[in-house]
């Protein structure tokens, strides 16, 4: 990706201009509502700051961007079909649940729901598929999926607010033509549209939508944008934590969920994706209570499991996608084109081969545990340390191995509260938001609702915006 497609050096290296633009960009971000609470006071909006972002948008080839948007509805369908295929989930996760306690606990809830029978035929999925552009020497960049997030996929709210910031900065820098290439983007509206549809199908005007949130809520504004779209439709939203549901939640004889006397139509999980989110047995009890209820869950437990790394690796095996798209070779082809190399670490000859391959050339791979939320992956010589410890035991099945993707670094300035202004070599990750609602056998709505570009300095291997590593960005298409 030649920098000619992006911001020219005479702008990037003009320190007086950069300083002026940086001050302007902060004001613009605050004015547009690109905000986060402070680390010191994560539960108060008394003092807030801009959420971290790039000073300039990052060049992204139009062809791969369009490819990512086009495949999203197929990914929505795939996740939904996996969630309904109990045999597939059982087979795919069999080895993982023997060694990964967190996945095992989720799986146990899934089994209990299967045994009791699902009490709600409406399914709501809000997911985000994340990609990087793989670019070896002189090759055209190819789109490679990092992961799909089926629970608590964030930044649909804030990424709805960043386009205007970059448009303004480009105009100030005298780059009018580029400013017109920044796309409108409003995932918040699309995510809310799907939640509203599920709420409507639930069929009770008195029912509320619950945002299930963490104790520490720095990223509250991101969620608020989705929430306010629902209030605009006169849908009542309440924010609860696991412990609130445990203390005040109950099911009536029809399995309708009530919390503090309010009937719950939809539960939108913005928490519950990491082991630390379950601070006690009560959190697990609350999760089970919600899963057993008639409320529409986003995601329900089987959709949550469909987003595990192990499922991602199993899908990359020959013939597996065809199971879900038996008469849609084109969908299979579009999805498969985005797969990076993924390898099993299950016990047996195939897993042994993966271990040897990783130990021989660790720099070619990423070792991934079954975790969401960024900051969990293992790189380089650390791969050898981990694999040497677990290579003879079933513990290795808690991980998958994936080819390392090689994006081309681009120079930019990362705007962070309290950080000095300096130019960095940056790598970007493109996320695409999907939203779908199914009722029984009918797919009521299935759409791609927007995108998210996140960028980080190339010295960081892993981590997202909420983890404090990546910053918000926009694609500058060329």
Q: Give me the CATH number covering residue 365.
A: 3.30.1490.50
Same domain, 68 and 156: yes
Residue 20 is assigned to a ligand binding site: no
Of 380, 404, 428, which residue constitutes the final position of a domain? 404
Which of 361, 389, 404 represents a domain boundary (last residue)? 404
Is 404 marked within a binding site?
yes
Active site residues: 128, 147, 149, 154, 309, 368, 372-373, 454
Shared-domain flag, residues 377 and 420: no
Residues 254 and 329 in one domain: yes
What is the number of domains present in the chain? 2
Please indicate, yes or no, whether residues 383 and 234 belong to a single structural domain of this protein. no
Q: Which domain holds residue 9?
A: 3-340+405-477
pLDDT mean by block of 10 residues, the chain; 478 residues: 70 97 98 98 98 98 97 98 98 97 98 97 98 87 97 98 98 97 98 99 98 97 98 98 98 98 98 97 98 98 98 97 98 98 97 98 95 85 97 96 95 96 96 99 98 92 72 97
110 and 241 share a domain?
A: yes
**DSSP secondary structure of 146-203:** EEEE-SS---TTGGGTHHHHHHHHHHHTT-HHHHTTBPP--HHHHHHHHHHHHHHHHT
223 known member of a binding site: yes
Looking at the structure, tell me whether residues 369 and 399 fall in a common domain.
yes
> Does 271 carry a binding-site annotation?
yes
Please identify, among 374, 404, 434, the residue that sits at the C-terminal boundary of a domain.
Answer: 404
Same domain as 258, residue 225:
yes
Which one, of 182, 132, 192, 130, lies nearest residue 161 by Cα?
182
Q: Is cis: bond before 457, omega within 30 of 0?
A: no
292 and 178 belong to one structural domain: yes
The verdict on 473 and 351 lying in the same domain is no
Q: Was 272 annotated as part of a binding site? A: yes
């Amino acid at each position: 990706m030649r920098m000619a497609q992006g911001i020219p050096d005479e702008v990037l290296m003009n320190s007086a201009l950069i300083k002026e633009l940086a001050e302007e960009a902060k004001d613009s971000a605050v004015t547009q509502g690109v905000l986060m609470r402070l680390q010191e006071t994560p539960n108060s909006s008394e003092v807030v700051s801009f959420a971290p972002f790039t000073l300039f948008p990052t060049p992204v080839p139009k062809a791969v961007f369009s490819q990512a948007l086009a495949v999203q509805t197929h990914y929505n369908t795939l996740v939904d079909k996996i969630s309904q295929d109990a045999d597939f989930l059982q087979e795919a996760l069999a080895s993982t649940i023997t060694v990964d306690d967190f996945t095992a606990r989720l799986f146990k809830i899934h089994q209990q729901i299967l045994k009791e029978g699902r009490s709600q035929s409406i399914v709501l999925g809000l997911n985000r598929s994340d990609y990087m552009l793989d670019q070896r020497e002189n090759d055209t960049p190819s789109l490679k999926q990092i992961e799909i997030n089926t629970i608590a996929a964030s930044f649909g709210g804030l990424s709805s607010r960043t386009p205007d910031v970059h448009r303004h900065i480009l105009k100030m820098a005298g780059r009018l033509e580029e400013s017109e290439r920044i796309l409108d983007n409003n995932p918040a509206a699309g995510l809310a549209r799907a939640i509203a549809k599920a709420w409507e199908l639930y069929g009770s005007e008195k029912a509320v939508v619950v945002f299930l949130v963490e104790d520490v809520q720095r990223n509250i504004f991101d969620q608020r944008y989705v929430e306010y779209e629902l209030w605009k439709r006169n849908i009542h939203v309440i924010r609860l934590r696991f412990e609130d549901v445990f203390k005040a939640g109950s099911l009536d004889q029809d399995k309708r969920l009530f919390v503090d006397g309010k009937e719950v139509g939809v539960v939108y999980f913005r928490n519950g994706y990491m082991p630390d989110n379950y601070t006690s047995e009560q959190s697990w009890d609350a999760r089970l209570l919600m899963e057993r209820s008639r409320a529409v869950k986003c995601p329900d437990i089987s959709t949550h499991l469909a987003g595990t790394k192990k499922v991602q690796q199993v899908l990359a095996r020959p013939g597996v996608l065809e199971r879900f798209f038996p008469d849609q070779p084109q969908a299979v082809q579009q999805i498969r084109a985005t797969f990076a190399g993924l390898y099993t670490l299950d016990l047996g000859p195939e897993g042994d081969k993966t271990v040897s391959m990783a130990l021989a050339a660790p720099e070619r791979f990423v070792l991934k545990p079954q975790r969401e939320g960024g900051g969990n992956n293992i790189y380089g010589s650390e791969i050898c340390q981990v694999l040497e410890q677990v290579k003879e035991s079933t513990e290795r099945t808690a991980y998958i191995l994936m080819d390392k993707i090689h994006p081309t670094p681009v120079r930019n300035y990362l705007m962070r509260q309290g950080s000095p202004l300096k130019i960095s070599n940056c790598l970007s990750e493109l996320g695409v938001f999907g939203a779908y609602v199914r009722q029984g056998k009918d797919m009521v709505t299935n759409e791609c609702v927007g995108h998210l570009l996140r960028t980080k300095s190339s010295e960081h291997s892993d981590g997202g915006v909420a983890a404090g590593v990546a910053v918000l960005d926009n694609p500058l298409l060329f």
